[in-house]
Chain A
Amino acid sequence: MQKMKCKSIHKKLIFFIDGELSSNKNQKIEEHLSTCQECSKLYQELKSSLNVIEKEKNPKTNPYLYTRIKQRLDDINESSSKPIFAIQQIKLFQPALVSFIIGLGIFIGISIGNFYPLENNNIAESQSEQYYINDLQQEHVEYFLLNNE
């Protein structure tokens, strides 16, 4: 029975601390707390935890808050008034720029190649002149041995 009463008191403790209960309920809880050590301990702990809020309230503010805000606003204005080809914006076009340079390189390479078609043919011809003909297959090894005898 006492346990049941304690449980019901526990549920109301925070409202008791905040003064939200009727005077009748308040009185009952006060009476219980004066006799029950366990509930009284819990009440003290809860009250102490909630007191932390009072300690944290209204912290001292920095006297230079406006100066800092002004500085940040000036930075924002400065960055928004930079020319369109500012370094940061150029970075956005870097991939396109790299692709363009590679494409240009390939185009120039092909163009240079097309300028010297004859030289390319000569190289092909000179290579064919020096081509090694393997005639071993046409001449049987046995025949070669017979001739040597």
Chain B
Amino acid sequence: MTDKDLIKAIKNNDQQAFKQLVENNQQLVVNICNGFLHNIADAEDIAQEVFIEIFLSVNKFREDAKLSTWLYRIAVNKSLNHIRNNKKHKILNSIDNISGSDKKTENDLPDVNASQPEKIIEDKEQSEILNYSINTLAKNQKIAFTLNKYDDLSYKQISEIMGVSLSSVESLMHRAKKNLQKKLFHFYQKK
């Protein structure tokens, strides 16, 4: 079944077609959400919301449009809304984690039985620094950078999803990389 057939069938309330659409695209949607949220549990929650929205608003979907572009747009918007709603909480957590002043929960603690505990701590810190730096980029730079780096999308695909020109995406990517590099250097100097 092609994407168009699936959409047609879902419009006729075909549950099996909806199941197939979810199974075909769940990896893609979870990956997009995880690229923005950097948390697999949150990414799966948001992915569920994305598919629910697809199901509930399928009648508004134009048949000539691309399903993947629609999925990407909803996933990006829902992920950004989630970040905005939890902004205060997330920023405080990230700053605490980076400065090492937080009280870590059991789940956050690295596995002490692992053969290289220092390496795990170092990896976790590195991941937090990178995520924090990406999250503090300007909104459009963050979207373009995340879609390109986490989802391997071409600049053309990104321009379709964001509804901007190809040259705008190139410019956004250039500025995103420059700013990200600056932010990361700033952290390295603090070490």
A→B interface (CB under 8 Å):
10-11, 13-15, 18, 42, 45-46, 48-50, 52-53, 55-59, 61-62, 65-66, 68-70, 72-73, 76
**B149 contacts the other chain (Cβ, under 8 Å)?**
yes
Closest to B48 in A: A69
Closest to A45 in B: B188
**Interface of B (DSSP majority class):** helix
Q: Are A61 and B130 in contact (CB under 8 A)?
A: no
Top 3 nearest A-B pairs by Cβ distance? A14-B181, A66-B22, A14-B177
Instruction: Identify B30's interface contact among A15, A49, A61, CB under 8 A.
Output: A61
Q: Are A66 and B34 in contact (CB under 8 A)?
A: no
**B44 contacts the other chain (Cβ, under 8 Å)?**
yes
Chain B residues touching A, range: 20 to 34
B→A interface (CB under 8 Å):
15, 19, 22-23, 26-27, 30-31, 34-35, 38, 40, 43-44, 47-48, 51-52, 55-56, 123, 126-127, 129-130, 149-150, 177-178, 180-181, 184-185, 188
Contacts A53-B150, A58-B31, A59-B30 given; indicate if A65 touches B44 (C-beta within 8 A): yes
Chain B neighbourhood of A53, CB < 8 A: 130, 149-150
Closest to B122 in A: A48
Contacts A46-B181, A52-B126 given; indicate if A59 touches B55 (C-beta within 8 A): no
Q: Are B44 and A14 in contact (CB under 8 A)?
A: no
Q: Are A59 and B34 in contact (CB under 8 A)?
A: yes
**How many angstroms from the CA of A10 to the CA of B177 in the assembled complex?**
12
Q: Are B188 and A68 in contact (CB under 8 A)?
A: no
**How many angstroms from the CA of A49 to the CA of B23 in the assembled complex?**
32
Contacts A18-B177, A46-B184 given; indicate if A56 touches B22 (C-beta within 8 A): no
